[in-house]
Amino acid sequence: MARIEYQEQLEQLREDVLEMGDVVCQRLRRALEAYETTDAALANRVIAGDHEVNELYLDLEGECIDLFALQQPVAGDLRFIASSFKIITDLERIADLAVNLAEYAKRGDPERYPDIDVVHIGTEIVLLVEDAMRAYATNDADATYEVAATDDEIDELCGRASRIVARDLVETDVVDDDLLEEVSRMLLTIRDLERVGDHAVNIAARTLYMVENDDELIY
Amino acid sequence: MSTEEQSLITTEVQTENTTRADRPDETVLEARSLDVYYGQDQALTDVSIEIPEHKVTAMIGPSGCGKSTFLRSINRMNDQIDACRVDGELSFHGKNVYDEDVDPVALRRKIGQVFQKPNPFPKSIYENVAYGLRVQGTVDDVDLDDAVEQALRGAALWDEVEGKLDSSGLDLSGGQQQRLCIARAIATDPEVILMDEPTSALDPVAASKIEDLIDELVEEYTVVIVTHNMQQAARISDRTAVFLTGGELVEFDDTASIFEDPADDRVEDYITGKFG
């Protein structure tokens, strides 16, 4: 094995990206917990901790740029670093959406829509992000297709939830500002959860490209 | 304007926008089952490859893999090595260059070569370029002056030497000397230019000028380049051939494919530095 230090740097990057994935999934779970328990203090901790994810992101971006500039990677190494570079952006966006969720948790009324199980949808989506990161960790191309298929099911769930909100609004006789605020908050919650799922698919798509040089899942 | 006229204009624009990589391949050189031996040692093993016209084809691989041997086989420079034996076929426009009726000197006029170390003759800049033309029989002074200027322009050297054509070629910088050698090679109007590590003795600025020049030369000529610098192969070539130990051509493909997703694991290991 030649270029030992370079190989070690590649392995370090993989470990660091996986660690960032763990941190982001943990933030998402805490935001969901805050939403479920209406725990404002926990929500605030999620919001306040976002800068740590941003710093992780910048560190990893630097690692990728250094590898590009100093090692001129090609072939599988190039696809690995390029994919990692994209995946950390998706992880950083997921952390931003976890912050949004924590904000909604502070002001929302979870009892307002008993037919919408935000925590269930959110939990499914966290699992999806974890599946995508596991595919990245294990170079599992088959698993990336499963992530994309599961996201389609989650999109259905989110679509149904949005329709419940819309129907409820249409069927309500007195529409006041409080209701409108609650409606928009719930629609934003559903939309942001759906976006987390889209980022999970992006991670899967970049992983498929990394493993198979196949861009089928990219957009 | 009729629809037909409009369609012609559209076609013209599309043609102008076609990049080098999009042009259809016309094979100019082809090796079939080529084996080359130096005495008992086999330097090339069963090499088959089709080299496209007006493209840059790079040959990469570790030292001793046979890439320079392949280059020298193309214009029969290996003839000068007594112990060298060539089996198989290497054709130029369909004609086997190893047929008995092929004159190697005439062949080398059509397939010129530039070497690793710039090797201008110890003569004036003008004479370095004019030499081959005189040998070829271009004797008219006006024609000769024009041809020298055109060759020097073609090698992107004219602007730097216009006022000192009588100076010795050896007084030029390394990069200029190499471009002078390229001017000498193109003066005799070859179809193919073989380059054996043409920038390895040059500093990065001089090397980048040669790389830019190669990009221009390929409009008129076919370029086959041996390089140890993989980034250079990636930057300047359209096709890349990877030779590995034993003189085996392991993979030949579009350069982007080789450097983004090589088919052969040995090539992946070599270009990512895991080889050896």
Name the residue facing A2 among B259, B267, B275 (closest C-beta). B275
For residue B42, count other CB atoms closer than 10 A to its CB: 17
pLDDT reported for residue A203: 98
Domain annotation covers residue B223: yes
**One-letter amino acid for residue A175 of the chain:** V
Least confident of A54-68, A196-210, B142-156, B213-227: B142-156
Q: What is the pLDDT of residues A73-117, one digit of tens each?
A: 999 999 999 999 999 999 999 999 999 999 999 887 777 888 999
What's the pLDDT band for A1 if we cut at 50, 70, 90?
Answer: low
Query: How much is the pLDDT for B11?
Result: 47
Residues 6+ apart with CB under 8 A from B165: B124, B125, B126, B148
Mean confidence (pLDDT) of chain A:
94
Using CA atoms, how far apart are residues B222 and B44, in angstroms rounded to an integer? 22
B258, B260, B272: residue with CB nearest A213: B260
On chain A, the residues whose CB falls within 8 A of the CB of B274 are 1-3, 7
CA A136 to chain centre: 14
Domain ranges of chain A: 4-212
Structural domain contains residue B199: yes
Domain of B226: which CATH number? 3.40.50.300
Which position has the higher pLDDT, A56 or A1? A56
Which residue from B260, B275, B276 is facing A79, i.e. has the nearest CB? Answer: B260
Element (H, E) at A166: helix A141-171
- Residue A68 reports pLDDT greater than 60: yes
pLDDT of residue A175: 79
Q: Does A79 touch chain B (CB under 8 A)?
A: yes
Residue B47 lies in a domain: yes
User: Side chain identity at B250, as an amino acid letter?
Assistant: V
Query: A74 vs B260: CB contact, 8 Å cut-off?
Result: yes
Name the 3-class secondary structure at B90: strand
- Per-residue model confidence (pLDDT) at position A190: 96
Q: In chain B, which stretches have pLDDT less than 70?
A: 1-18, 138-139, 276
Q: Residue B6 has what pLDDT?
A: 52
What's residue B19's pLDDT? Answer: 72
* pLDDT in the model for residue A217: 93
CATH architecture of A4-212: Up-down Bundle (1.20)
pLDDT for residue B248: 96
Q: What is the pLDDT of residue B4?
A: 52
Would the CB atoms of A3 and B273 count as touching at under 8 Å? Answer: yes
Classify residue B39: in a domain, yes or no: yes
- Find which of B232, B237, B261, B270 to mutate to test the A interface (most A CBs within 10 Å of its CB): B261
pLDDT of residue B251: 97
Which residues of B are less than 8 Å from A83 in CB distance? none
- Alpha-carbon gap, residue A162 to A174, rounded angstroms: 20
- The reported pTM is 0.82
- Determine, yes or no, domain membership for B7: no
Contacts of B234 in chain A (CB under 8 A): 74
Q: Determine, yes or no, domain membership for B103.
A: yes
Please list the helix, strand and coil fractions of chain A in percent, rounded to the nearest 5, in that order.
85, 0, 15
Residue A18 pLDDT class (50, 70, 90 cuts)? very high
Cβ contacts of A73 on chain B, cutoff 8 Å: 272
- The domain containing residue B102 runs over which residues? 26-120+191-271
pLDDT attached to residue B130: 94
Structure tokens at A183: 């409606």
- Cβ A20 vs Cβ A130: under 8 Å: no
What does DSSP say about strands B248-254 and B239-244: parallel, antiparallel, or unpaired?
antiparallel
How many domains does chain B fold into?
Answer: 1
